[in-house]
Amino acid sequence: MGKKKVLVVGGGGREHAIVDALSRSPQVGTIYCAPGNAGIATMAECVRIKDTDVEALLNFAKEKRIDLTVVGPEAALAAGIADRFREEGLRIFGHSREAARIETSKEFAKEIMRKYGVPTAASRSFSDYEEAREYVLGRPFPAVLKYDGLAAGKGVVIAENAAEAEEALKDMLLDTRFGKGKVVVEDFLSGPEFSFMCFVAGDRVWPMPLAQDHKRAFDGDKGPNTGGMGAYSPLPFISDEDRQFALNHILMKTAYAMVGEGCPLQGVLYGGLMKTPSGIKVIEFNARFGDPETEVILPLFKSDIYAMVEAVASLIEPRDEPEWSDEAILGVVLASKGYPGSYDKGYGIDIEEDIDATIYHMGTASDADGKLVTSGGRVMMAVCKGETVAEAREKAAAAVAKIHCSNLFHRSDIGWQATE
């Protein structure tokens, strides 16, 4: 058997971590990544095709005789990439467009949870501004307002008062910023949030270790919501009983529900969960690897990742049950100043050679002279392992100090819920 050719779709830190994991597989020979980034280019051949250009990706996969395609971003799934590849007989790790609605439509996800008894916050959806406003103003604050559609992890507002609620509802229902949509209004839940990802093939579910993301831009969980400023694992505040409950009553139940609805999952199901005073509840589902959680979870995977994703893509059992390291791991994101608002690109980045961390590139490019420069909001993530989260955090802080760029900022308190 010759070595396998793999195509990874996407160009961020998550995809760098996927490429990194695949490069450790004894089965994998050549890795292509579309579009990739400057960091990914050191371990894969980057191809200048947008992650949503399904036909161009399909033609490339056929031309190169790709054995397996692994999809990173939700936008590619929403564009129907998995459906087209399967129609053409190509093996792909990622859900159909129908199944990806568990992420792309908040209303669909809520309906599934209601119908199958998956624990979540009570909610109602609206497309009319006046109706939504009247409902929200008649209920206690804070109110959780979710745009029903793809908003790259940022279409959620927690309104503390009437003025904030009105502004958010105008944004979501009267403004064209997100496109024409609906809003799901939810009761506010309190408690620590965490991420529980699983590999899912129909009604088979293989859990990954738990992680916690840090959504707010600044230390102390202050500032605007971002795509995520860092993550770590394991989580001391989640007991084995909590984890088992979440696996049985949330992730497995949802996998079965999707089979029941005729749109089985075939990729990653990501539960964005919360440990509330009344038990574990779903905040949201994502239909793909989380970012930045993937960058701290895949480095813990001890088995052959190619065998795992190929099994899911083929709807078969992997030869071996997946094995995970029980080390602690923590990653800190370095982002462009101004993110998640507007920011400048093209700042040079110097990384000291003796840095002791895995660096996943999120938004980097090479300039005309081949020098590494910033090209995105989140730029890179320094990931370190340790015996404890505190040790991993110390190592990550030391690593971040060896990355020099005049236009980056980061949080210094990633993992605070595990180390205080």
Domain at 20, CATH number: 3.40.50.20
281 part of a folded domain: yes
Query: Which of 360, 322, 328, 350 minimizes the C-alpha distance to 407?
Result: 350
Q: Check whether residue 201 and residue 270 sit in a common domain.
A: yes
43 part of a folded domain: yes
Q: Check whether residue 207 and residue 269 sit in a common domain.
A: yes
Q: Check whether residue 177 and residue 196 sit in a common domain.
A: no
pLDDT on residue 176: 63
134 part of a folded domain: yes
In whole angstroms, give the CA distance from residue 162 to residue 140. 10
Q: Check whether residue 308 and residue 372 sit in a common domain.
A: no
Domain boundary residue among 45, 69, 93? 93
CB-based burial of residue 406 (10 Å sphere; 0-12 exposed, 13-18 middle, 19+ buried)?
exposed
Q: What are the residues whose beta carbons fall under 8 Å from the beta carbon of 257, sequence distance 6 or more?
A: 112, 115, 116, 118
105 part of a folded domain: no
**Number of domains within the chain:** 4
Cα dist. 390→14, 212, 220, 235, 415 in Å?
A: 23, 14, 17, 12, 8
What pLDDT digit, counting tens, does each position of 215-263 carry? 999 999 999 999 999 999 999 999 999 999 999 999 999 999 999 999 9
The domain that holds 238 is classified in CATH as 3.30.470.20
**Regions of the chain short of the pLDDT cut 50:** 152-153
Report the percent of the chain where pLDDT is more than 70.
Answer: 97
pLDDT on residue 173: 85
The domain that holds 336 is classified in CATH as 3.90.600.10
pTM confidence score: 0.91
Cα dist. 50→19, 200, 374 in Å?
A: 17, 26, 19
In whole angstroms, give the CA distance from residue 9 to residue 417. 33
Angle between the 252-260 and 106-116 helix axes, to the nearest 10 degrees? 100
300 part of a folded domain: yes
CB-based burial of residue 282 (10 Å sphere; 0-12 exposed, 13-18 middle, 19+ buried)?
buried
145 part of a folded domain: yes
Q: Check whether residue 156 and residue 237 sit in a common domain.
A: no
Q: How many CA atoms lie within 13 A of 255 on its CB side?
A: 23
What pLDDT digit, counting tens, does each position of 156-166 carry? 888 999 999 99
Q: Check whether residue 237 and residue 294 sit in a common domain.
A: yes
- Per-position DSSP letters for 255-275, written without gaps between them: HHHHHHTT---EEEEEEEEEE
Tokens 């590494």, residue?
A: 372
Q: Check whether residue 374 and residue 344 sit in a common domain.
A: yes
Cα angle for residues 124, 128, 130 (degrees, 5° grid)? 100
102 part of a folded domain: no
Q: Check whether residue 202 and residue 171 sit in a common domain.
A: no
Angle between the 129-137 and 162-169 helix axes, to the nearest 10 degrees? 160
Question: Which residue type, as a one-letter code, is found at position 382?
Answer: A
Q: Tokens at residue 219, please?
A: 């230390």
In whole angstroms, give the CA distance from residue 419 to residue 34. 38
Q: Check whether residue 274 and residue 338 sit in a common domain.
A: no
122 part of a folded domain: no
- By DSSP bridging, strand 68-71 and strand 4-10 are parallel
Domain that holds residue 66: 4-93
Q: Check whether residue 274 and residue 355 sit in a common domain.
A: no
